[in-house]
Amino acid sequence: MKRSERKISSRANNISNADPIDKVQIYGAGTAGSFLYVLLKQSGFKVGIKDIRREPDCKCAWGIMYREANKIYKKIGIDLQDYVLAKPEYVITNKIEFKNKNVVIFDKKKLLEDVWKEIEFKEIEADILVDSTGHRRALLPAIKEDKIYPTIQTIEEHRAEENIYVYACKTGYAWAFPLGNNRWHVGAGDIDETKATELIKKLREEFEFRKDHEICKCKGKIRLLPPSKCKPFVSKNIVGIGEAIGCVSGLGEGNVPSLRSAEILCECLVNDELDKFESMIMDEFRWIEVEHKFIEAIQEGKRLTTLLLLPKVVAIESKRSAKLSIRGMRRLIKLLK
């Protein structure tokens, strides 16, 4: 067994005489990896980072929970306010309106570009490797029954009120997110890519988003599995963070959870408590587990489970994103095809 492997497995087995981890190699400089890089550097670690891309990946609708993200990004000297493009007033799903509380649309690409300016991309001889390669999960063992949804997205110009517009069905949804200056992210994700295209059509009909000229178009992927189904988080000398270990909510929110998972890993490394990483992730993301169970219950037509979980989901999202109501959500669930 290599020295690095011995160190990490020693911690997993709670053996106290292993040397502390001080050299970390990160793979994937997306939301979680680039943030972890800066955090670890600030804490005095020797850090290497590598990405397969030449510029940051922007395949995201760019919605983020302002309060949580602002607090997190402050730790690396970033003021999220500098990147906010729009503060939508309502989240309108299948024509049902919910008051937005905390979702902003931010220029994720610009933010990541600014973080990348601080990064020296290189590989180092490290004690541990971090898998922050998102849905690819390039280093950790593959997940047996993985659930990767295809996504499509365009940037388009529209004159419409700056709300978040959603057309949802049981297996996915289409969205229109305002980017300011009449620009919009219009996209969809569904188990089936053809269905995603149909969902965008429905969204256009429902909210009168004509198919105007596209500024750009891309396809992506998102892992929609909770952390409990993405184990192991630690394997030999590899530790996962972000979407690689299922830090994405049942509704597809992955930005703050990915950042938070990086923060947790940094905390574990600083305190030399890597053995606590898995349980800390599970504790932190209990709410994600609930949301995935809720979505699964809707998809499988389990009415009772859906109704039992509904108040929990309403409480979670009313705190995190928009002011949901049980009545509104029950109406919405009835409309889902």
Ligand X SMILES: Cc1cc2nc3c(=O)[nH]c(=O)nc-3n(C[C@H](O)[C@H](O)[C@H](O)COP(=O)(O)OP(=O)(O)OC[C@H]3O[C@@H](n4cnc5c(N)ncnc54)[C@H](O)[C@@H]3O)c2cc1C
Q: Which stretch binds ligand X (CB under 6 A): 12-20, 132-140, 200-208, 296-304?
A: 132-140
Nearest residue to 320 via CA among 278, 285, 293: 285
Residue 87, phi then psi, degrees to nearest 5: -120, 90
Cis bond before residue 232 (omega within 30° of 0): yes
| 153 makes contact with ligand X (CB under 6 A) | yes
CA 312 to each of CA 177, 250, 288: distance values in angstroms, whole numbers, following the listed order: 26, 13, 11
d(Cα 27, Cα 22) in Å, to the nearest integer? 16
| Under 8 Å between Cβ of 156 and 210 | no
Q: Which stretch binds ligand X (CB under 6 A): 50-58, 93-101, 206-214, 299-307?
A: 50-58
Interacting positions 167-226 with ligand X (CB under 6 A): 187, 220, 222
Interacting positions 27-46 with ligand X (CB under 6 A): 27-33
| 52 makes contact with ligand X (CB under 6 A) | yes
Q: How far is the CB of 17 from ligand X (least distance, A)?
A: 33
Q: What sign does the dihedral 281-59-296-336 (CA atoms) show?
A: positive
Q: Contact with ligand X (CB under 6 A): which of 7, 11, 24, 63? A: 63
d(Cα 255, Cα 51) in Å, to the nearest integer? 18
| 59 makes contact with ligand X (CB under 6 A) | yes
Interacting positions 231-260 with ligand X (CB under 6 A): 242-244, 248, 252-255, 258
Q: How far is the CB of 223 from ligand X (least distance, A)?
A: 8
Residues that bind ligand X (CB under 6 A): 27-33, 50-53, 57, 59-64, 132-134, 136, 138, 151, 153, 187, 220, 222, 242-244, 248, 252-255, 258
